[in-house]
Amino acid sequence: MTTLIDTELLSDVQRFGVADVSACFSCGTCTAICPLTDNDGTFPRRIIRYAQVGMRDELLSSKELWTCYHCGLCSDSCPTQADPSEFMAAARRYAIASYEPTGLARILYTRPVIGSLIAVAVAAFFAVFMYAAHGPQGGSSLALFTFVPEGLIHWTGVAVMAVMSLSGLVGIVTMARRVARHEGVSLPTVFGGRTALARTASALWSALGVESLGQRRYRQDCKDDLPAEPLYRRRWLIHALTIWGFLGLLAATLLDWGLALTGVKETGTPIPLWYPSRLIGTLAGISLLYGVSIFMANRARKVNRASQLSTASDWLLLVLLWITGATGFFIEVALYLPDAPGWGYWVFLFHVAVAMELMLLLPFTKFAHAMYRPVALFFYALASDTSKQTG
């Protein structure tokens, strides 16, 4: 097999973060301390070596890139201050930009001013688009879906989800094909026969249920990350609350839509706080807002390795998530106030515009790690299973 050398690779990756791994002399100290090294005695040193010698394909085919938690143990122990954990974060940003073909992720990561202008323009577009079709305000309770027609929101949402899914799928397939080739995994390995299917199902459960939702290794491996931190500020917990909060809000929206579709309740009908879709949405909103607020505070205060360097794209994701959660609560308050407040309509318009932007930009911001990490964890679980069987 021919290995193509990209002499610009290291400098290109460095555009996505400040890590300067040119000082790395492959001593292996980071490998000795990294909690993920159990399956591969060369991680993370090998990934740094790929960048140093210009092995772009190998770098982008490494599942380990996505299993790293940015705990910082490797950087704390590096004798040359090469900062391997920040290099891994920069390499992940580089990979997100490489897997998607439009170039938007690269702009958002490496051109902060233009990226911020694009972000503002996308939100403004959705707001103006919705407002152009607006109906009347007024009445004794907020008639949000008269102000912005429900059908418009629904079909714009469908279009946004379609574009997001297509962009995401292109990125996932590109990444998965690279990793599969690198790992020697083929379609028959995954789907060929009952044993292969059972192994695939087990790897899927491990990637999605145990690791992505349950955060098992994050909890176990990063327990030394911030030993003095109380539970309510642990990285794995605020990460989990953010994921569960986001998924809960998505579930509440889909449930509300399903209830309207089946004729149980029309969208926009006043409902009490304990109504299932409202209750799920409220609890999920609290979870999301708490997680994102702590993430933002940590980044602003640079409390740990993972928050030492923040790109505009990292902030963009947090800001979009926070606005979506916070405006959702403002709407909820407005709905229960005795006299329908006029500001409730404008907050609703802003909420819908930002939520649409959040979903549309998912494959291009740091949010994309939510697509790539489960894929990497799937290959990780497959490799662990294979090594157990052959070991």
Q: Residues in the site for ligand SF4, rule: CB under 6 A?
A: 24-30, 34-36, 44-45, 48, 68-74, 78-80, 82, 84-85, 88
Nearest Cα residue to 202 out of 391, 390, 384, 387? 384
CB of 229 to ligand SF4, least distance (A): 16
Cβ–Cβ contacts within 10 Å for residue 210, how many? 14
CB of 305 to ligand SF4, least distance (A): 7
Alpha helices (H) in the chain, listed in sequence order? 9-14, 29-33, 45-53, 56-60, 64-67, 73-77, 84-99, 104-110, 112-132, 144-147, 150-183, 187-191, 194-204, 216-221, 235-261, 276-301, 312-336, 343-360, 369-390
Cβ–Cβ contacts within 10 Å for residue 105, how many? 28
**Measured between alpha carbons, how far apart are the two ends of the chain, in Å?**
27
Q: Which two tokens stand for residue 159?
A: 């279009």
* Closer by beta carbon to ligand SF4, 31 or else 242: 31
* Closer by beta carbon to ligand SF4, 55 or else 74: 74
* Closer by beta carbon to ligand SF4, 218 or else 345: 218
CB of 60 to ligand SF4, least distance (A): 17
CA dihedral 257, 355, 124, 349 (to 10 degrees): 50
Q: How many residues does the chain have?
A: 391
**CA dist., res. 280 & res. 272, Å (int):** 12
Q: Are 309 and 86 in contact (CB under 8 A)?
A: yes
* Closer by beta carbon to ligand SF4, 64 or else 256: 64
* Closer by beta carbon to ligand SF4, 22 or else 116: 22
**CA dist., res. 211 & res. 352, Å (int):** 31
Amino acid present at 109: Y
202 Cβ contact list (under 8 Å, min separation 6): 381, 385
CB of 211 to ligand SF4, least distance (A): 13
Q: Are 252 and 281 in contact (CB under 8 A)?
A: yes
CB of 51 to ligand SF4, least distance (A): 11
* Closer by beta carbon to ligand SF4, 24 or else 375: 24
**CA dist., res. 349 & res. 331, Å (int):** 10
* Closer by beta carbon to ligand SF4, 82 or else 259: 82
Q: What are phi and psi of 65, to 5 degrees?
A: -50, -35
* Closer by beta carbon to ligand SF4, 41 or else 103: 41
CB of 34 to ligand SF4, least distance (A): 3
CB of 304 to ligand SF4, least distance (A): 11
* Closer by beta carbon to ligand SF4, 68 or else 284: 68
